[in-house]
Amino acid sequence: MNKVMLASGVALMLSMGAAHTALAQEKILTISVYALAQDEYKKIVYAPFEEKCGCKLVVETGNSVERIAKMDANKANPVVDMAVVSMADALSAARAGLIDKIDTSKITSYDKLYDIAKDPNGDGMSIGYTFYATSIAYRSDKMKIESWADLLKPEYAAHIAWPNVTTNQGPPSLYMLGQALGKDTPDLAAPIEAVGAAKDDIVTFYEKSSQLVQLMQQEEIWAAPIGRFTWAPFSKLDMPIAWATPKEGQTGGMNVMIVTKNSKNRDLALQFMDFWLSADVQSKLAEALIDSPSNSQAKVSEAAAKNLTYGDETAKSLKLIPSAVSLDNRAGWLKSWNEKVGQ
């Protein structure tokens, strides 16, 4: 028995070693992305691109902040060639000297992108590939949501989940709550105070939006602010769930592409970005209800458009927090959140 185990262990180690040497022969592009819908991305983006370039894609997944932290740790010897992160994290990576300016002449569809996607941080270091609205998913049979402040009503608060301030949806939701309260200072003091006052009632301050579907299904919650990109599974639940259009409007976010400083595969990375931003790929991603296109030439069916955040008008109407505001206040938000809500 021991011999068998030993043999299988050795075989495994050998096969792993072999796999690594095989990889070393090819051109490799290492990308770092959100873990979202990897099977579909593989079909629509990665596999066709690998075929086109004759190279191999290695994909790292995780949330935006974690992956930036890892890029920072590997700064001297970058592992990742290109990454997609949130707008604010792109700015933080830029300030930390982790990324370079993007040579937009290599991106053929650059001119076709919506204006807000071209250079969202104004430093030439990021390009938006998708944007999304953030609003409230709620049980229309249990409650009525007309304002962001409605969530904190005493009769509702015990049935809602609110995004933690550390998530991508956290600050935008607080920002809209601030607007509803009529006190929208960049330090988000008033909305954090308001959430803090209701903290014992609120079911949870969620960090992973996927959990919300489960909580919604078992009626632990009736409502939560979410990004539109997580809407699809809610609509599949056998319950009356609606997407709120609060009078203060919707907020949202944009995800952007960045290239790592000192990356050895810059050309390949730009080719990949060019491919991903093409109208064809963007249309397919939209049809699969994964990403709302930032390429204005992307063709989207009506059915898909209904589930996504789609079109120039919508893009312009979203109340986004500027990256610099978000970055400069992040530590302060976390501090006051921990004081008012965290304990």
Partner 1 sequence: MMARNLFIPITLGLVIAFLIGPFLIIVAASFSGGETLAFPPQGFSLRWIAKVFTVESFRDSFFMSLFLAVGGTLVALILGIPASYALSRYKLPGAETIRTIVSAPIIVPGIIVGLSLLRYIVVPFQVGITLALFLAHTALILPYAVRVVSASLGNLRSDIEEAAVLLGSSRLGAFFRVVLPNIRGGIMSAFILGFVTSFNQVPVSLFLSGPGVRTLPVDMIAYMEIVFDPSVAALSALLAFMSIGIVFLAERFLGFSRYV
Partner 2 sequence: MFQNRAEALALALPAALFAAAVFIAPVVILLSDGFRAPGGGWTISAYTEFFSSSLNQAVFLRTLKLGALVTIVAAVIGYAAAFAIVSLEPGKKGKVTGLIVLPLMISPVARTYAWIVILGRTGIVNQAFQALGLSEAPLRILFSETAIFIGLLQLFLPLMIISLISALENMPKDAIPAARVLGANWFQVFWKVILPLTKEGVVIGGTLVFTGCLTAYITPAILGGSKVLMLETLLYQQVTVSNNFVAASVIALILIVMSFAANILLKRVATARNKTRSA
Q: What is the DSSP string of 117-139?
A: HH-TTSSSS-EEEEEEEEEEEEE
Residues that contact partner 2, how many (by CB under 8 A): 25
**What residues numbered 176-235 form the site for partner 2, per CB under 8 A?**
199, 202-207, 214-215, 218-220
Distance, CA of 334 to CA of 328 (rounded, Å)? 12
> CB 79: neighbour CB atoms within 10 A?
14
Q: Count Cβ atoms within 10 A of the Cβ of residue 257 and give its class: 0-12 exposed, 13-18 middle, 19 or more buried.
A: buried
Candidates 7, 12, 47, 69; binder of partner 2 (CB under 8 A) is 69
Distance CA 293, CA 282 (A): 5
Dist CA 327 CA 140 (whole Å)? 35
How is residue 284 written in tokens? Answer: 């397919």
Contacts for 212 with CB less than 8 Å, ≥ 6 apart: 137, 161, 206, 221, 224, 226, 230, 234
Residue 1 contacts partner 1 per CB under 8 A = yes
Q: Tell which one of 3, 16, 21, 331 touches partner 1 (CB under 8 A).
A: 16
To partner 1, the closest distance from the beta carbon of 78 in angstroms equals 11
Name which of 171 and 293 has its Cβ closer to partner 2.
171
Q: Which of 63, 64, 126, 263 binds partner 1 (CB under 8 A)?
A: 63
For residues 90 and 318, which CB has a smaller minimum distance to partner 2 in the complex?
90
Nearer to partner 1, 184 or 220 (CB): 220
CB 218 within 8 A of CB 174: no
Q: Quote the CA–CA distance of 180 and 217 in Å, as a whole number.
A: 28
Strands 28-33 and 223-227: unpaired
Distance set, CA 56 to CA 34, 97, 267 (Å):
19, 27, 14
| Partner whose footprint covers residue 288, from partner 1, partner 2, none (CB < 5 to 8 Å by kind) | none
Least Å from the CB of residue 291 to partner 2: 24
Q: To the nearest whole angstrom, how small is the minimum distance from the Cβ of residue 256 to partner 1?
A: 19
Pick 17 or 122: Cβ nearer partner 1: 17
The binding track of 127-166 with respect to partner 2, each residue x by CB under 8 A or -, is: -------------------------------x-----x-x
Name the binder of 65 from partner 1, partner 2, none, CB < 5-8 A by kind.
partner 2
Name the binder of 9 from partner 1, partner 2, none, CB < 5-8 A by kind.
Answer: partner 1
CB of 20 to partner 1, least distance (A): 8
Alpha carbon distance 217, 329 (integer Å)? 35
Tokens of 312: 């120039």
Q: Site size for partner 1, by CB under 8 A? A: 42
- Whole-number minimum distance, CB 68 to partner 1, in Å? 14
Q: Which of 18, 26, 27, 38 is the binder for partner 1 (CB under 8 A)? A: 38
Please say whether the beta carbons of 135 and 225 come within 8 A. yes
Nearer to partner 1, 6 or 96 (CB): 6
Distances (CA, A) of 207 to 60, 115, 162, 277: 20, 31, 9, 29
Q: Report the interface residues with partner 2, using CB under 8 A.
A: 65-66, 69, 72, 158, 164, 166, 199, 202-207, 214-215, 218-220, 331, 334, 338-339, 342-343
Positions in the binding site for partner 1 (CB under 8 A):
1-2, 5-6, 8-9, 12-13, 16, 30-32, 34-39, 42, 58-63, 70, 73-74, 76-77, 79-80, 208, 210-211, 213-214, 217-218, 233, 236-237
